[in-house]
Chain A
Amino acid sequence: MVEVSIDQPAVESVAPAAVSAVGAPEWLNARRQSAWQKFQDTETPGRTDQLWRFSSLRQLKLKGVSYAGEVAAADAQALSAQSAMLEDVAARFVFVNEACVTHDVLDASLEAAGVKVLPLDQALVELGDVVEKHFMAREAKLGSAKYMALHEAAASSGVVVFVPKGVEVSKPIEITHWVSGADVMVFPHTLIVAEDNASVKVIDQFRSADDASANWVVGANDLVAGDGARIGYYAVQELNAASRAILVNNSVAGKNATTTSFVLNTGGKWVRTENMSYVQGEGANSYMLSVSLPDSGQEYDQRTFQHHKSPHTVSDLLFKNALFGKSRTVFSGLIMVDEGAHYTDAYQTCRNLLNSDEAEANSMPGLEINADQVKCSHGSTSAQIDRDELFYFLARGIDEHVARFMVIAGYTQEVIEKIGDEAIEALLADRIEAKLRTIGV
């Protein structure tokens, strides 16, 4: 068990800028002050707030939550040692309670190509203009404005990835955020900027240092893909079953660019993800993917926004939830096509596989279409494993337990396969399998 070394100030009552702004540039301090004011001025979401329909609002209480404090060096090193997800990576970062414990850029050729992979504080010095331009540049439209204001005010750690024009980073960059201590809050941030025709993949992991302490994560990431650029962002949320999180993903795709965001939810008690994708430039593509496996007592609240702003753009969303025990999911998605964004192809699919009589799935797929030359559709299904499908397995001598496992793993595989990177796909499949075994499928 890792102990928090000092008593930390309560999140609701002490301006984080006063705690963490030492050495920060002037513009950042000003934004932090303004964001803190916004956090205080913005009301906590209520029952009639459409953006929080079906949400368990009681989970939003911050009373008694403190800023995460420093962790003993030995404990931090121990956590760092068990962080690696992929064998072959371009860079590896490990944060424990926001402190950067590991900062390994393993591929020496990156630096020569002008690629920067830096902790946030260092990036503020080396890439000040880039951070100022893109850090929290977009409004949190899907309901978490208050919590993103807190994030903007408090975020002091995270990773900034900058890939210059035409450079392809072939190996993934791996980041792990550990949270340690009871009722502590962290604000991890990942900013990825890929200039024109550049490409990069980042895998971001959120984990608790122990199984029992309730942690709070208010994380955000910005993906900015220039013309013809490609960004893949894969989040793995494996907090302990006492923890809560709000994770907001913002992606912008320029002309002919492609952004892919993926979220795997297996941990946490209550986790809200908000994914906003701005399919901005003509010919841009956005792929939004998610697999969630909530078990008893877990609740995942998923909000998405596919905003088509130019003609000839494509977005495709596929979210799959497999629910167990007394678990709950909420999916609310919106495809918005602006006037003039003709020849838009937009799809949105949410599938819920209910494996328990006590599970609850809520779906609110949405469309707002303001241009006529479009192909847009959404679909949502909620059902259980087909009995005929199980019978098929049983008739071939496969045990029902094994058959269920295979069906559920296969169900999630359709999402994983869309990633198109064997190592990342294998990692995610492995995590899904581990969760299914924990549940006892």
Chain B
Amino acid sequence: MSTEVQTVSQIAAEKDDVGNFKFPEKHKYDAGYGLTEKTIDYICDVKDDPDWVREFRKRALKVFESKPMPTHWASEDLDNIVFENIRYYLSSGDRPTRSWDEVPDEIKETFERLGIPEQERKFLAGVEAQYDSEAAYSNVKEVLEEQGVIFVNSTEGLKKHPEIFKKWFGKVIPTTDNKFSALNSAVFSGGSFIYVPPGVKVSHPLQAYFRINSENFGQFERTLIIADEGSEVVYMEGCTAPKFETSTLHSAVVELVAMPGAKIQYITVQNWSNNVFNLVTKRGLAHENAEIRWIDCNIGSRLTMKYPGVVMKGRKARGEVISIALANDGQHQDTGAKMIHEADETSSNVVSKSISVGTGRSTYRGQVSIPKHLKGCKNNTECDALLINTNSKTDTYPAITVNGNQHATQHEASVSQVSEDMLFYMQQRGLSEGEAMSLAVNGFVNDLVREFPMEYSVELKRLIELEMEGSVG
């Protein structure tokens, strides 16, 4: 296997049989349509991956090819994904240059309504070049470096810090976990690698916000966060503005490792445009006395399937998933949580709230497992669903396994609608029906929205208001 660094033209000359890719301008990389070993070789060559990564990717490709689609229980909409029609690698800007004129009117309108400044709008829509954000990213990096924190993209992580990266990469979520984790393992690009040294408590949240359109932005990002003993870190990804994404498949893998006594909080606010299949695998490994919290908000996408999980491997480890999902017309938010207790006195908490609007469908799918011969484990799961219109849909499918007589688990789910009395009461005080509904919905999720950082919670509320507009009647 070649480890030489090749020029762009060399790669282009050698790989022009991969697909109908072209380089519209200098520094553009495109692996073409469809996924074969050649696609992987192309990605490895462009990214100058070490040999072990190339082998890892190729093994993953075989797993991806051999695994069936999980349609025996999941949404049949998955069958509409045509893997041959997807481009698995675009880089150096990652996507063809786009102009502000290409951004759909409804997205522009949403930016306007959210009150996002002009410059930021272009950046969030993926129109603006990423230099400004890289500068901001670098500033953050300098502060972190003083504390010994590593915060780089995954490519840089695997090259510059292999001793840490290789130890945990693919260990929390093995390639064979599911078809889409295998796909990600084959073609991953982008995402973050974070290492927090023992005892370091990172004072500011680390945000992927700055890197949305950075060099390795892709549909298959891979994030690995390791919080060493006694350390603490908060990581945020996504943004509360709508993402203009023309691709049809987003399949990320996120692995978290909290060493003894460490705390990781991972916050996602996702608002893909509604043509995206968002199929993400997220899991954390919590050692003794460690804590992992997933705070997750899913508003956009056509179909989201995402079940953040925590494997509580050490005694007294804690896991938590707090999630909000809003499914609007034509959308299906299939989200949930997995809590795997593997040590004594571990505890987990899941609070999930969903709102279905119009023909939207929200699903909670969960798993709680307490295997044999453990003592003192606890789980609490609460799911509340709110249905707005007569054709809105919601489902709940938890699975709870408890072994032994020294644990306590409880699961509760409820489905309701906004009461007519409540709407009437608000309308009597001068609110329109839409405003009243929006207020009621915000009230429904308010206790969870408070868990988000302030700037996120403000925009989240406004996004919910926008989604609720025109939903009544």
Please list the residues of chain A having a beta carbon within 8 angstroms of any beta carbon in chain B: 48-50, 53-54, 339-340, 342, 352, 354-384
Contacts and interface: CB of A to CB of B under 8 A. Distances in A.
A382 B409 contact: yes
A354 B393 contact: no
B397 A384 contact: no
For the complex of A and B, the 7 pairs showing the least CB-CB separation, nearest first, are A372-B387, A377-B414, A382-B402, A384-B405, A354-B405, A367-B396, A376-B415
Q: Name which of B387, B396, B414, B415 has the most chain A CB atoms within 10 A of its CB.
A: B415
Contacts of B372: 358, 360
Nearest to B408: A383
Nearest to B412: A379
Interface of B: 72-73, 372-373, 385, 387-417
> Which secondary structure dominates chain A's binding surface?
strand
A357 B415 contact: no
A365 B413 contact: yes
Given A356-B405, A363-B411, A369 B399 contact: no
B283 to A, nearest CB: 21
A379 B399 CA distance: 12
A366 B411 CA distance: 11
Contacts of A360: 372, 401-403
A368 B394 CA distance: 6
B255 to A, nearest CB: 26
A45 to B, nearest CB: 13
B410 A368 contact: no
Given A383-B407, A383-B409, A369 B398 contact: no
Given A362-B400, A364-B400, A372-B388, A357 B405 contact: yes
A384 B398 CA distance: 21
A71 to B, nearest CB: 41
A54 B409 contact: no
Contacts of A48: 72
A187 B271 CA distance: 55
Contacts of B398: 363-366, 380
Contact of A372 (B73, B389, B400): B389
Contact of A369 (B72, B394, B397, B409): B394
B343 to A, nearest CB: 16
Given A372-B392, A381-B410, A367 B402 contact: no
A354 B402 contact: yes
A335 to B, nearest CB: 9
Contacts of B415: 367, 369, 374-377
Given A357-B373, A383-B409, A368 B401 contact: no
A377 B412 contact: yes
A262 to B, nearest CB: 24
Contacts of A354: 402, 404-405, 407
A358 B398 CA distance: 23
Contacts of B394: 367-369
30 contacts: A48-B72, A53-B399, A339-B391, A352-B402, A356-B405, A357-B373, A358-B404, A362-B401, A363-B398, A363-B411, A364-B398, A364-B399, A367-B415, A369-B385, A369-B387, A369-B393, A370-B391, A370-B393, A371-B390, A372-B387, A372-B388, A372-B390, A374-B387, A374-B417, A376-B414, A378-B411, A378-B412, A379-B410, A380-B400, A383-B407
